[in-house]
Structure 1
Amino acid sequence: MPDDTAADGLTVGEVSKRLGVTVRALHHWDEIDLARPSLRTAAGYRLYTSGDLERLHRVVVYREIGLGLDRIAAVLDDTTTDVTGALRAQRTQVAERIERLQQLGDGLDRMIDAHERGMLLTVEQQASIFGPRWNPDGPAEARQRYGDTTQWRQYAERAATRGPEEWQAVADATAGLDRALGEAMDGDVAPGSPEANRLVERHREVFSAYFPLTRQMQVCLGRMYEADPGFAAHYDGIRPGLARWFRHAVDAAARAHGVDPDTAAWE
């Protein structure tokens, strides 16, 4: 605490600068009789003594640790108040607040990491979950390509909360869908049929692990699955011609919901 022995006669503005509190706060504390200036000039202006400043220092300290003004007044003026108990209780609240803030900070770190890396898994974890054909550079390449999009932000928000078990569930759901698509082709399921439409809807549900997928966006994905060599190789590796079949199934389901595949856009 600074030496305030020569502080008698300080104005509100001077005290405000010394303590780093607003003039408005000082006026309020005066009005509620929490910390009043002991002196007045002939013109009626407030002047604070060194004793007033000492009390104000205590008010500021107690306010900084989170005590309300009524509680501060009791600590300062009520001789029956258990000051130590009040401070211990406030210390407990501060510790709880620090823990919450630490958790928030950890969550923000994960969010930042997810935005930058795309997936918070080691290379070994990725290979174990997604299989040996998985490209561990894929998330970073996707960020390079889509990092400025709304969908990447939505994906990162989901990825930030996922550990290996959650990603395993996503991988299992995707593998299950792939098997179902292959079995549909084996069973000569026709695009536009109720069974095919259910599979298209299932694809939207599974894909929501990454970001929300509208029907128009799904049409765009269906076309990419057929046209992109990497995606086409994946689906056609399940069943020859599956990429094309799935694109037709998506288009038919879109039409059933009033979406024209020929004009569908990524929105």
Structure 2
Amino acid sequence: MNSSSADEAELVGAVARSLGVSVRTLHHWDTLGLASPSGRTSGKYRVYLPADVARLRRVLLFRELGIPLGEIPVLLNAGAVERREELERRRAELIEKICHLRKLAEDVDKILAADSSGVLLAEAEQLDVFGAGWDPSWSVAARRRWGDSAQWAEYAERSSKRKADDWRGIVESEQEITATLAQAMRDGTSPGSDVANALAERHRTAMSEYFHCTHSMHVLVARRYVTEPGFIESYDRAESGLAAWTKQIIDANALAKGIDPETAVWE
């Protein structure tokens, strides 16, 4: 190494710091023959010239691109055309990954927003979808009550993907099952009968649009139908006494599935 080269040389520690890697990494690359120093000090410390550092930067770039160490020597020694083709291919993969990560970040933003507000629709849209009797503050109240539960997390994840038409379909399905329940009650359908159990299952399926609802959880949800004025009013608007009757068929269906309504738990 001549005096001019010596003036430009850097010890391994300084090179490692400038590249953001460990000295051990540079030692490993040297052992593999990927990028070796041009000399050593009298104390046997590795000394790197600018050309050595440039090669190290190429190795680092290839590693950050995900190229295995075993393939890097081929690229380092390849012609310009081959290196460019490989870099272009890796760049295309990066762009694809960046687009995926951006989409993932957008999805997470929506989940966080849904976790806070429940429904990702403007208030005017909510009233249009859920009806004039809907109060947008109900979602906020629901979050205060169940925001720490796994079910709210599931609800937020599903809500983050739903647009107005998706919610409208859910509302229409709920209205249809409520009307069917009311007609079955008027027809004198007995709780525990095959018809009533099938209706209870349809109701549970509709409930599962919000979160996975087991038979035991279904029982606990139904208890609110006869204790909370909002639910009583909503069901009894379709048919007087429907809230209580719906609870009865849900309890009977759960019992048929081996769940004791008296000891049902939130799963």
TM-score by length of 1: 0.90
Q: Distance in 2 between matches of 1:198 and 1:6?
A: 87
Deviates more, 1:52-61 or 1:193-202: 52-61
Tell me how far apart the structure 2 counterparts of residues 80 and 177 of structure 1 sit (CA, whole Å).
68
SS where residue 103 of structure 1 aligns?
A: helix
2:151 paired residue number: 151
How many equivalent pairs are there?
Answer: 263
**Aligned partners of 2:29, 2:215: CA distance in 1, in Å?**
60
Instruction: Give the equivalent residue in structure 2 for 1:179.
Output: 179
| Secondary structure in structure 1 of the residue aligned to 2:36 | coil
Separation of aligned partners in 1, 2:11 and 2:39: 9
AA matched with 1:182:
A
- 8 Å contact 2:11–2:45 — kept in the other structure? no
Following TM superposition, the consecutive aligned residue runs of length 4 or more in structure 1 with deviations greater than 6 angstroms are none
* 1:80, distance to aligned residue in structure 2 (A): 6.1
Could you tell me how far apart the structure 1 residues matched to 2:80 and 2:157 are? Answer: 51
Which amino acid in 2 is paired with 1:18?
A: S
Q: CA deviation at 1:70?
A: 5.0
Cα 1:250/1:5, change in 2 over 3 Å: farther
Give the equivalent residue in structure 2 for 1:215. Answer: 215
1:254, 1:84 → 2: CA distance? 66
Gaps of 5+ in 1: none
- Separation in 2 of the partners of 1:87 and 1:252? 66
Q: Which moved more, 1:43-52 or 1:87-96?
A: 43-52
Name which of structure 1's ranges 203-212 and 93-102 shifts more when overlaid on structure 2.
93-102
Percent of pairs identical after alignment?
39
3-state SS, counterpart of residue 28 of structure 2: helix
Query: What is the CA–CA distance in structure 1 between the aligned matches of 2:242 and 2:108, rounded to whole Å?
Result: 41
Deviations along 1:168-208, one digit per CA (max 9) or x if unpaired, are 22112111111111111111101111111011111111111
More helix by share: 2
Structure 2 portions without partners, runs of 5+: none
**Contact 1:226–1:232 under 8 Å retained in 2:** yes
Cα RMSD for the two superposed structures: 2.1
- Note if 1:126 corresponds to 2:144: no
Report the Cα distance in structure 2 between the residues aligned to 1:164 and 1:68, rounded to whole angstroms.
47
Match for 2:226: what amino acid?
Answer: E
Q: Distance in 1 between matches of 2:253 and 2:206?
A: 16
Amino acid at match of 1:37: P
CA displacement 1:111-151 (0-9 Å, x = unmatched)? 11111111111112212222211222211111111111111
